[in-house]
Amino acid sequence: MTMPGVSVEGLRVDLAGTGRDIVADVNFHIAPGEVLGLVGESGSGKTTVALALLGHSRRGAQIASGRVLIDGQDILAATPAALRAARGRLVAYIPQDPGTALNPALRIGVQLEEMLRAHLPMLDTTARAVRLAEMLEEVKLPAGPAILRRYPHQLSGGQQQRVALAMAFACRPRLIVLDEPTTGLDVTTQAHVLETVRSLCARHGVAALYVSHDLAVVAALAQRVVVMYAGRIVESGPSAAVFRTPRHPYTRRLLQAVPDPAARRGLVGIPGHAPAPAMRPAGCFFAPRCDLATDICTTMPDATRVAPEHDVRCWHAADLAAATPAVPPPDDPPPPGGTLLAVRGLGAGYGSVRVLHGIDLAVGPGECLALVGESGSGKTTLARSIAGLHADRTGTIHLHGAPLAESVRTRAQDERRSIQYIFQNPYASLNPRRTIGDIIARPLHIFFDLPQDDIHRRVAAQLERVALNAAMADRYPDQLSGGERQRVAVARALAAEPQMLVCDEITSALDVSVQAAIVTLLADLRRTMGLSLLFVTHNLALIRTLADRIAVMSGGRIVELGATEDIFNAPRAPYTRDLLANTPGTSAIGLTQAAQTPP
Amino acid sequence: MSATVAMAQPAAPARQRRFTVLRQAIAFGRTRIGLAIVVAVSLIALAGPLVAPHSPTVFVAAPYAPPSAKVLFGADYLGRDVLSRFLCGGRVILGLSLAATAIGLAGGIAVGLLAAYGRGWLDELLMRLMDVLLAFPQIVFVLLLVSAFGPQLWLIVLTVGLSHLPRVARVTRGAALEVVERDFVKSAEALGETRTRILLAEVLPNISSPLLVEFGLRLTYSIGLIAAVSFLGFGLQPPAADWGLMINENRIGLTLQPWPVVLPVLAIGLLTVGMNLVTDGIARAAIGLGAAPAMPR
């Protein structure tokens, strides 16, 4: 029997030479014109599955068994030559970062033509030119020779992704695999690119696999969803069913971790992380992190059908239909009073290029101010100016009424201690050659004159404060997961006993479940320690639960500044309205009701 | 995926992890062979004087006497025992090379780190100065100073070290440029760490692998240069025993009695090859061409 579209049957990918699987027992079908969402945390095996659909495996992995049928043709059984021909013509791939996928030394036109020449050699020069114009039009890039003469670096991230889309759709493939294609893009650009993907797939009857950890995007785009955990499909079904009535505990926890712009509610993270292939427990892989786990969970459940087309791999799927999870109410911090930090008429830039103009804002003690804007809006430069890491600035910054110097080097010890900065990427902000204990001890050495014993005690206390085991002090950063590393960065900042934390996109490199845990941690610390937060982010939905006030930035200016609820309910600046409209929310399909039905 | 794979590896004790690159380098066959050669030649140089059958400066046979039971490798142009002179002549060259390499590395690292971290005019000033030094071929630079101030050992060490300095500085700067831009350096700045501590504790440990390679490479060059300077007569002065000097003194009799030339040439050659093998092994380990499988078992 041959079904049109794409069928994956019994796919298994092994760690080469170990006989241990990375993913196994993967079965799904994608109809022509349908978008299937594949979601999971990092380490769930979703990229491994996506690459297997191209007949490819990463170094150290090998496809052990299974079939990938594209219109009846088995990709995995193809000879290398047939596989090469199939890629591009039958299957196309859109990588995460289009900037690295396009050749920086070749003009866009040359790269697009190369694609046509390789896969459609029957076209002559005129036919190719016509086809090129069509391709540009399809992905809504400006027509005309101007764009074809550009080099990749002369295009914006969104335009680069459109070029990648044009190349992928050029030969009318039967299957297109998109691996987190909008991760690096602004919400507005992301919305446009997603719309383009959806309409192209529908128009040309292309089956699409959309891999992402962003549930909101998947909910908005995909007709059906597959949820993966530790190399197994744990739940699959129509998007509406999976997101509205999740039947696997993991799916449910994931959904609770996703912030929603449409509702102010608490976020719940999932403790721990997905086990690596060598560390998986016997039985259900999710059991160690699952609240509902019982004795039966020590044997691996099979996928069972709970509703039409809705399959779940869990012993407790039936119980879960009735149970409603408890969603904590949002944190309601004390009302702010007074001013801790005041910024007046701040301008900043890099030499003759000025990126900030006339910024005025104030943060009260214990207040959380969110700084929201798309990339290039100047929000990071503003945060760095406040922390003294960007010295090329004008205007004034006052802390407790005293002016702060431009550079952190010329600030007083106490001023440096009061404002602590947490960096975006925890993989870069911890020195890989120092132990966690050393890293957290540095601020203690610098700011407090303490005997060695006290330092050890305080390091342990800081680790416990951010919910890490004190024994971690002997580890090195590369032995920690991304979420654990960011906790260490928070612990280092807290060790200085600051009055204010400047958080620069600190969750953008993390999974949603980890992101929720970090945000909850910050909210707790704020309540217990009376910390002020300046939270820089591009994710509007995330801060709804955290921020007291929001400053929306665009083009180096603050276009709107107001209380969080006012901004969400009655945005005044047109830019804020655009931003809100383009933020995908899980409530679009009714998740909010499902996830927080009051008991 | 890669993050979880890394996590799956058991937590190694701190002391072991600090020398990851060295341990991986030892896993290569070439590193082991190289290390064996270097250790063997160094042992000869260090322990040689203790086992030498004769004094290196006493005449024991006729000039250019062939090998016999009394003089195992024959006698040199003045009739001194070749084996004894060979065993005694390595200590100095090895010591001088190590000292010169240490000077070149320390100076080069300091200049390179300052240039990379200081940026701007400091970077320009330091690196253009290095370019001036770089314009002299190494041997010419050494000979220029030694011929001007006389053949003193400390001067040879200093000039050979100085001639390494611009080369080491370039490598250090190149490696450090990438590291000083990383967030953990910014984080240290935000805490108010001193510049010295940032350079020594934050940046230096992260460029130790290329510098280890550089050490091996510069040591090789030092050995060659100092042997050459001795050969040209600017090193140790007769009648002292020295490998470079031995080659020069006996080259006229090469066809008559090859051993006084062949032995030191062999030793210097082997030491250089061995050091290169070790360096190469470290370089391979540093870029991650590990012989051990990267995946957990």
Contacts of A425 in chain B (CB under 8 A): 183
Chain A to chain B, count of Cβ pairs less than 8 Å apart? 101
Determine how β-strand A224-229 pairs with β-strand A207-212.
unpaired
CA distance B9 to chain A (A): 8
Give, rounded to a whole angstrom, the gap between the first and last alpha carbons of chain B.
16
pLDDT at A444: 92
Average pLDDT, chain A: 84
pLDDT in tens, A187-203: 777 888 888 888 888 88
Nearest CA in chain A to B1: A43
CB contact (8 A) between residue B191 and residue A481 = no
How close B7 comes to chain A (CA, Å)? 5
Q: Do B190 and A16 touch (CB under 8 A)?
A: no
pLDDT of residue A89: 81
Report strand pairing: A393-399 vs A341-350: antiparallel
- The domain locations on chain A are 341-584
Identity of residue A295: D
CB-nearest to B297 from A18, A411, A421 is: A18
Domain B90-240 CATH assignment equals 3.90.1150.10? no
The token pair that represents B54 in the structure block: 């004769």
Residue A11: strand, helix, or coil? strand
Nearest to A428 among B7, B184, B208 (CB): B184
CB A553 within 8 A of CB A379: yes
Chain A positions touching B197 (Cβ under 8 A) are none
Q: How far apart are CA B230 and CA B236, in angstroms?
A: 6
DSSP letter string, A39-105: E--TTSSHHHHHHHTTT---TTEEEEEEEEEETTEEGGGS-HHHHHHHHHHTEEEE-S-HHHHS-TT
The rounded distance, in Å, linking the Cα atoms of B128 and B146 is: 24
- What tokens were used for A215? 């549930």
Residue A437 has pLDDT above 60, yes or no: yes
Comparing B171 with A261, which gets the higher pLDDT?
B171
User: What is the pLDDT, as a whole number, of residue A544?
Assistant: 82
Tell me whether residues B3 and A482 touch, CB distance under 8 A: yes
In this predicted structure, what is the pLDDT of residue A440? 93
Residue A592 scores a pLDDT above 80: no
CA distance A281 to A115: 45
Separation of alpha carbons B16 and A237, rounded Å: 49
pLDDT given at position B39: 93
What pLDDT, on a 0 to 100 scale, did the predictor assign at position B289?
A: 62
Three-state SS annotation for B200-213: HHHHHHHHHHHHHH
Report how far residue A396's alpha carbon sits from residue B95's, in angstroms, rounded to the nearest whole number: 59
Question: B153-180 and B208-231 are packed helices; what angle lies between their axes, rounded to 10 degrees?
Answer: 160
State residue A488's pLDDT score: 93
- Within 8 A of B200 by CB-CB distance, chain A residues are none
Closest partner residue to A408 (CB to CB) among B11, B192, B293 is B192
Task: Name the DSSP class of B67.
Answer: P
DSSP string covering B7-27, please? HHSPPPPHHHHTTHHHHHHHT
Nearest CA to CA, how far is B202 from chain A (Å)? 7
pLDDT grade for A586, boundaries at 50, 70 and 90: low
pLDDT value at residue A585: 66
Q: Of B181, B207, B295, B297, which to mutate for an interface test with A (greatest number of A Cβ within 10 Å)? A: B295
d(CA A499, CA A494): 9
Taking 50 as the threshold, does the pLDDT of residue A599 lie above it?
no
Strand pairing category for A549-554 and A557-563: antiparallel
Give chain A positions within 8 Å (CB) of B205. 431, 433-434
Residue A350 to residues A345, A394, A405, A458, Cα–Cα distance (Å)? 17, 12, 18, 39
The pLDDT tens digits of the residues spanning A307-321 come to: 888 888 888 877 776
Q: Is the dihedral of CA B244, B246, B248, B249 positive or negative?
A: positive
What type of residue sits at position A102? L
User: Is the separation of the CB atoms in B211 and B201 below 8 Å?
Assistant: no
Q: Is A17 in Cβ contact with B293 (below 8 Å)?
A: yes
Q: How confident is the model at residue A325 (pLDDT cuts 50, 70, 90)?
A: low
Task: Say yes or no for a CB contact (<8 Å) between B6 and A443.
Answer: no
Residues 6+ away with beta carbon under 8 Å from B137 = none
Tell me the pLDDT tens digit for each residue of A533-562.
999 988 888 888 788 899 999 888 999 998
* Rounded mean pLDDT, A39-49: 85
Q: Are A241 and A82 in contact (CB under 8 A)?
A: no
Q: In Å, how far is A475's CA from the nearest CA of chain B?
A: 7
pLDDT over 80 at A409, yes or no: yes
DSSP of A253-311: HHHHHS--TT--------SS-PPPGGGPPSS-TTGGG-TT--GGGGSPPPPEEEETTEE
Q: Hey, are the CB atoms on A16 and B295 less than 8 Å from each other?
A: yes
Tens-binned pLDDT, residue by residue, of chain B (297 aa): 333 333 334 444 444 455 677 888 888 888 999 999 999 999 999 988 888 888 888 888 888 888 888 888 888 888 899 999 999 988 888 889 999 999 999 999 999 999 999 888 999 999 999 999 888 888 888 888 888 888 888 998 999 999 999 999 999 999 999 899 888 999 998 888 889 999 998 999 889 888 888 888 898 888 888 888 888 888 777 778 888 888 888 888 888 889 999 999 999 889 889 988 988 888 888 776 654 433 333
Domain spans in chain B, listed from the N-terminal domain onward = 90-240
B13 or A49: whose pLDDT is higher?
A49
Note whether B36 and B274 are within 8 A (CB). yes
Q: What is the ipTM of this complex?
A: 0.72
Strands A6-15 and A61-70, sheet pairing = antiparallel
Shortest alpha-carbon distance between residue A201 and chain B (Å): 29
Pick from A60, A433, A482: which is nearest to B294 by CB? A60
Closest partner residue to A433 (CB to CB) among B183, B189, B205 is B205
Q: How far apart are CA B113 and CA B120, in angstroms?
A: 13
Q: How far is B219 from chain A (nearest CA, A)?
A: 26
Residue B178: closest CA among chain A residues belongs to which residue? A428
From the candidate CATH numbers 1.20.140.160, 3.40.50.2300, 3.40.50.300, 3.40.50.620, the one assigned to the domain spanning A341-584: 3.40.50.300
Q: How far is CA A333 from the centre of its chain?
A: 27
Residues 6 or more apart whose CB falls under 8 angstroms from that of A486 comprise: A422, A426, A506, A507, A509, A510, A514, A518
pLDDT band at A331 (very low <50, low <70, confident <90, very high): low
The answer to whether the Cβ–Cβ distance between A389 and B186 falls below 8 Å is yes
Q: If you compute the radius of gyration of chain A from its CA atoms, what whole number of angstroms results?
A: 25
Contact: A389, B7; criterion CB under 8 Å:
no
The DSSP H or E segment spanning A321 is helix A317-322
Interface with A, mutate which of B18, B119, B191, B197 (most A CBs under 10 A): B191
Q: Do A474 and B14 touch (CB under 8 A)?
A: yes
Partners of A435 on chain B (C-beta within 8 Å) are 14
Nearest to B4 by CA among A289, A284, A235, A478: A478
Contacts of A277 in chain B (CB under 8 A): 8
